[in-house]
Amino acid sequence: MTLNQVRAALARVGLVGIEADEERGAVVLTGAVASWDQYVSAGYAAAGQGFRGVVNRVEVSGLGQQPMALPKKADGSLDGLEYDVVVIGGGVIGCAIARELTRWSLSVALLEKEEDVAKHASSRNNGMVHPGFAPTPGSRKAYYNVRGNRLYDQVADELGFRFERCGSLVLLSASWHRLLYPVAARRARRNGVDGLGLLGRRAVLSREPNVWPGQRGAFYLPSAGIVAPYEVTAAYAENALQNGAAIHLNTVALGFTVHHGRIEAVETNRGTIRARAVVNAAGVWADRVAELAGDRFFTIHPRKGSIAILDKKTAVHQSMVFGLLRLKGVGHSKGGGITRTVEGNLLIGPNAIEVPGREDYSTDPTDLEYLMTHHLSLNVKLRPSDIITYFAGVRAATFEEEFIVEPSRSIANLVHAAGIQSPGLAAAPAIAADVSEMVAAQLARQMEVRANPNFRSRRQVSPRLAQLPLTERARLIRQNPAYGRIVCRCETISEGEVVDAINSTLPALTLDGLKRRVRTGMGRCQGGFCTPELISLIARETGQPPTAVTKSGPGSELLVAETKVGATNGGGGHQ
Amino acid sequence: MKPHCDVMVIGAGPAGLAAAVAAHDQGVRVCLVEREARPGGILKQCIHDGFGILRYESKLSGPEYAQCELEQVIDRGIEIFPETFLLSLGRGKTGFELTLQNRWQGVFTLTAAALVAATGCRERTGRQILLHGTRPAGVYTAGTVQRLINIDGYLPGRRCVILGSGDIGLIMARRLVLEGAEVVGVYEIRDEPSGLTRNLVQCLDDYGIPLHLSTTVTRLHGEKRLEGVTVCPVDAENRPDPARAQYLPCDTLVLSVGLIPENEILEPLGVELDRATGGALVDQTLMTNVPGVFSCGNALHVSDLVDHVSESGEIAGRWAATHARRVRRIGASQPIALEGELLYLVPQRLDPQAKGPVNAWFRSRRTLRQARLEVWAGERRLLERTYPLVRPPEMERIVFDLDGQAWAGQRFRVILREVRSGG
């Protein structure tokens, strides 16, 4: 509990010349190291020594502060707006919080620096709704994971997103690992995980005939589930909008006006917004947002993970999630495995690598090789040639490896939802419920907070034809023939669905936005056939020239000019 | 109840159009479904010439060739369902059952006694050849670039790097230059180009575009729009040598790294595929292992000349009609053993009962000078041909005859070997 303990811990990992001080109950590290690995080791060494958190200000030689990608837009269009609550961050956590806040008669705004929600970790994970077995008993992670998992059936029903409780298998690589079952059972009981079972080798094979032949049984976790994480995020955001919340995209919090321990306003690139309460759900940037409010007590250190997506053809080879029991643990990750998606692809990964770049989504050959050697073999039917694409995401990890879900201790109207890495997606419904209560409690001290009589928990959903019975499809096509015209052939997405997404309450105006909303371009051709179609549909619906259409916001324009002959008015695919 | 038609052709590209005409000319009822608004398939965007040298003895543009084929379909009054998407394929009481969707009829079902799958191919993407780095705008497959420029009338970039020396990549290199874009170079991981010689001359040499062999792109750079690529020479095992890596600024990467036959729609029927071609395993009638299901064109194996595509369509269409009329006796087809330097041979099986000349197409594994091809049935040689040069990019076509012999039980072999000069 003393700084000397921290200093001793730093010395033990061979780090000298790092200063440790205390600030607001957190340990603050300063000094300089030669490598990012040393920066990370310093943070871990200081964690768990009884302080509230680690503020790692150690500099890494040759490495400046990692820049945040900022919106290009700068106008005063939001200047002077006033909200009861401003939520910073449009990931699954921020969007879920915004939606939960609309249960009260509060004016709610969500600020997202990107041109769409779910651009970072919330669209860059394997979509698993973890059962809650992995987190340490007694931790906030365990509490929110298990509670969030249980809430998913209801939330999925209300918001109309797909959720499957497919179950997961933690495969055992040695027969004696079965002896660990009582330990596992105790952990499951302490965390409140429902239905843990022990399956013998044959029982595993009878359920999953293509499983890795080296397995010697498995822990079976029936409550594990899967969702499309971007679909969940957009569903929360849309329901928040339908209940009166505002979502300001391309809007980044640049500072706070703090007076007498209260935030009075949020300064953004689009003007100053007055706020009675603020929620920090800024993902990998949550420590910076806390710092802007003068309330930093933790550090986000980015941990990258890569995931490979397999062709939908592979869906028949597996019905549950596969992982491997790793006694030693792989760093601070659950070790990855093979997950299914609600759309039918299999996913392999993720791995876990500490990186300095908080928005570094580049992939490397070594990541993919790791996935192929460690994960692909868990299912004997899978081949490297089944991989259609791969991507990386960055986890917003703290050195305590724990969620931060709490009201600020120094700012009276700020709540932090930070350090929400895996199993954050599973935990989101529960975190959102608690955070909205915390905000309501803070606001209740200055205003009357009543229930919103107009709150509608059910989201109005646009039809997704591929999920409907043929008779229902036929009826929709009669109503709107655009549902009859397929533009994304690999995923069978119609023009009508694309147009709905472009014109929805949460418009998808980019190629990537459409991909997250309706799945166009996610199939085996990876947009080869539908990209020109989608460009012309976005242009037509928004009244922009096709040269203004982007992949992922300004700067990512897809076309540079008309050809010498000139454009042919929308292309030959339809006339 | 009678099926809706005798032969249903899926896809109205060059293979499907030829199949429909050939089936119709056998006196059966033919239907053609096409997911795009206009027939012609990928030919619609191939505005360069060189199509039809074998079939029409002239150098047509892609749209002209497609028009010639389409007119024959129209003249015969063959029923076409345009902009109609095949949702699923199954078996019903009266034959194959196709569940289709379009904007006019909604969702509907058609039945057919025989099917011809002429579904074409798709392009391999960057991630499918394990490209790494960022995922910015400006990375396109060559066919997408071709569509954007030639159909939509938009230029996708100003400074382009082309990866892969496949024919579409070479053609798009020239097309981009004609549109005022700069083409930095064409990079090919192999030590020989994968496109046709005529395209290497007419698209690269004539425009001063450099071709870099044994070199590949290893990394993409740029967050929003592509800013550059790392190119890197490779060793004999295709391993990049990081010491010789070079950064090339560019805003567009055009990928011409292979075509993959599209047969996913056939999988529920249990159609077996050939790993070497990516297409169905067929006999000389181009029938798959599923009786009544035929395959042709680029869905069967990727051809470099449309003339071959049309020819395979004709064969599949004709035999599908024969099958629908139940005049063909299906014998037990036998596999053909490949020996020597053959990458693949289509057909992969022979049905000794199906009379008439056998058309076959093959590619070699590597470039061969003075090569000899032999076709054997048991101890009898059916065909022998020598070639001064055989290159993997240039598909070869052979014809041999099975007539008048009882071949059942005999072993079929096709051998391709390099002949030592003076040997």
ipTM score for this prediction: 0.95
Percent residues over pLDDT 90 in chain B? 86
Chain A, residues 554-573, CB within 8 A of chain B, namely 554-568, 570-573
For the stretch A197-250, pLDDT in tens is 999 999 999 999 999 999 999 999 999 999 999 999 999 999 999 999 999 999
Q: Considering only the beta carbons, identify the residue of B141, B180, B264 that sits closest to A313.
A: B264
List phi, psi (to 5°) of B208: 65, 30
Q: Does A67 touch chain B (CB under 8 A)?
A: no
Provide the residue type at A215 as one letter.
Q
pLDDT exceeds 80 at position B29: yes
| Section A431-457 average pLDDT | 97
Q: Considering only the beta carbons, identify the residue of A473, A556, A574 that sits closest to B225.
A: A556
Provide the pLDDT for residue A1: 57
Angle subtended at Cα A255 by Cα A254 and Cα A260, rounded to the nearest 5 degrees: 170
Interface test with B, best of A556, A565, A568, A574 (most B CBs within 10 A): A556
pLDDT exceeds 80 at position B420: no
As given in the structure block, the two tokens for residue B290 are 């599923």
Provide the pLDDT for residue B120: 98
- Element holding A475 (H helix, E strand): helix A470-479
Distance, in Å, from the CA atom of A538 to the CA atom of A220, rounded to the nearest integer, reads 45
As given in the structure block, the two tokens for residue B190 are 């192999």
Identify the sign of the CA torsion A566, A569, A573, A575. negative
As given in the structure block, the two tokens for residue A10 are 């730093």
The candidate with the shortest Cα–Cα distance to A404, out of A503, A283, A504, is A283
Q: Does B179 touch chain A (CB under 8 A)?
A: yes
Instruction: Find the catalytic residue in A120, A130, A248, A375.
Output: A130
Residues in chain A with CB shorter than 8 Å from the CB of B135 are: 361, 391
Q: What is the DSSP string of B17-65?
A: HHHHHHHHTTT--EEEE-SSSSSSGGGGG--SEEETTTTTSS-EEHHHH
Residue B373 CB coordination number (10 Å) = 24
Q: Does B216 touch chain A (CB under 8 A)?
A: no
Q: Does A545 touch chain B (CB under 8 A)?
A: no
Chain A, residues 351-370, CB within 8 A of chain B, namely 359, 361-365, 368
Distance, in Å, from the CA atom of B386 to the CA atom of B419, rounded to the nearest integer, reads 9
- Contact (CB, 8 A) for B78 and B17: no
Contact state of A563 with B155 under an 8 Å Cβ cutoff: yes
The candidate with the shortest Cα–Cα distance to A395, out of A432, A363, A424, is A424
Q: Does B147 touch chain A (CB under 8 A)?
A: yes
pLDDT exceeds 90 at position A567: no
Classify burial at A455, counting beta carbons within 10 Å of its beta carbon; exposed 0-12, middle 13-18, buried 19 or more. middle
- Contact (CB, 8 A) for B126 and B140: no
For the stretch B251-272, pLDDT in tens is 999 999 999 999 999 999 999 9
Decide: helix, strand or coil at residue B189.
Answer: coil
Q: Does B238 touch chain A (CB under 8 A)?
A: no
Percent residues over pLDDT 90 in chain A? 92
Please state the separation of Cα B257 from the chain's center in Å.
Answer: 14
Strand partners, A227: A163
Q: What is the DSSP string of A341-407?
A: -TTS-EEEE---EE-S-TT---B-HHHHHHHHHHTGGGBTT--GGGEEEEEEEEEEE-TT---EEEE
Contact state of A484 with B154 under an 8 Å Cβ cutoff: no
Mean pLDDT (chain A, rounded): 95
Provide the residue type at A543 as one letter.
G
Long-range contact set of residues A148-153: C-beta below 8 Å, sequence gap at least 24: A148/A423, A148/A426, A148/A427, A148/A428, A148/A429, A148/A430, A148/A431, A149/A223, A149/A225, A149/A426, A150/A194, A150/A223, A151/A429, A151/A430, A151/A433, A152/A225, A152/A227, A152/A426, A152/A429
Q: Does A469 touch chain B (CB under 8 A)?
A: no
Q: Considering only the beta carbons, identify the residue of A486, A531, A560 that sits closest to B157.
A: A560
pLDDT exceeds 90 at position B331: no
Contact state of B102 with A565 under an 8 Å Cβ cutoff: no
Q: Does A180 touch chain B (CB under 8 A)?
A: no
Contact state of A559 with B151 under an 8 Å Cβ cutoff: no
Give the pLDDT band (50/70/90) at residue B3: confident
Of the ranges A50-64, B183-197, B344-358, which one carries the lowest mean pLDDT score?
A: B344-358
Give the pLDDT band (50/70/90) at residue B404: low
Of the ranges A62-66, A100-104, A453-457, which one carries the lowest mean pLDDT score?
A: A62-66
- Contact (CB, 8 A) for B168 and B304: no
> Is A177 among the catalytic positions?
no
Distance, in Å, from the CA atom of A478 to the CA atom of A490, rounded to the nearest integer, reads 23
Distance from CA of B149 to the nearest CA of A (A): 7
Distance from CA of B325 to the nearest CA of A (A): 32
For the stretch A345-364, pLDDT in tens is 999 999 999 999 999 999 99
Residues in chain A with CB shorter than 8 Å from the CB of B179 are: 563-564
* DSSP structure class, residue A315: G
Residues in chain A with CB shorter than 8 Å from the CB of B108 are: 474
Give the pLDDT band (50/70/90) at residue A64: confident
Mean pLDDT (chain B, rounded): 94
Distance, in Å, from the CA atom of B132 to the CA atom of A458, rounded to the nearest integer, reads 41
Distance from CA of B197 to the nearest CA of A (A): 26
Decide: helix, strand or coil at residue B100.
Answer: strand
pLDDT exceeds 90 at position B147: yes
Q: Considering only the beta carbons, identify the residue of B134, B153, B224 that sits closest to A568.
A: B153
| Section A485-514 average pLDDT | 97
pLDDT exceeds 50 at position A573: no
Chain B, residues 297-336, CB within 8 A of chain A, namely none
- Contact (CB, 8 A) for A9 and A2: no
| Section A524-536 average pLDDT | 95
As given in the structure block, the two tokens for residue B374 are 């032999």
pLDDT exceeds 50 at position A305: yes
Residues in chain B with CB shorter than 8 Å from the CB of A563 are: 149, 153-155, 179
Give the pLDDT band (50/70/90) at residue A328: low
Q: What is the pTM of this model?
A: 0.95
Residues in chain A with CB shorter than 8 Å from the CB of B154 are: 535, 546-547, 559-563, 567
Give the pLDDT band (50/70/90) at residue B100: very high
Provide the residue type at B361 as one letter.
W
Cis bond before residue B392 (omega within 30° of 0): no
Q: Considering only the beta carbons, identify the residue of A525, A556, A575 that sits closest to B136.
A: A556
Contact state of A573 with B36 under an 8 Å Cβ cutoff: yes
Q: Does B153 touch chain A (CB under 8 A)?
A: yes
- Which has the higher per-residue pLDDT, A126 or B93? A126
Residues in chain B with CB shorter than 8 Å from the CB of A68 are: none
| Section A445-467 average pLDDT | 95
For the stretch A534-554, pLDDT in tens is 999 999 999 999 999 999 999
**Within chain A, what is the greatest distance between any pair of CA atoms?**
75
For the stretch B200-246, pLDDT in tens is 999 999 999 999 999 999 999 999 999 999 999 999 999 999 999 99
Contact state of A568 with B152 under an 8 Å Cβ cutoff: yes
Distance, in Å, from the CA atom of B411 to the CA atom of B378, rounded to the nearest integer, reads 5
Provide the pLDDT for residue A571: 43
Q: Who's near A186: CB < 8 A, 6+ residues apart?
A: none
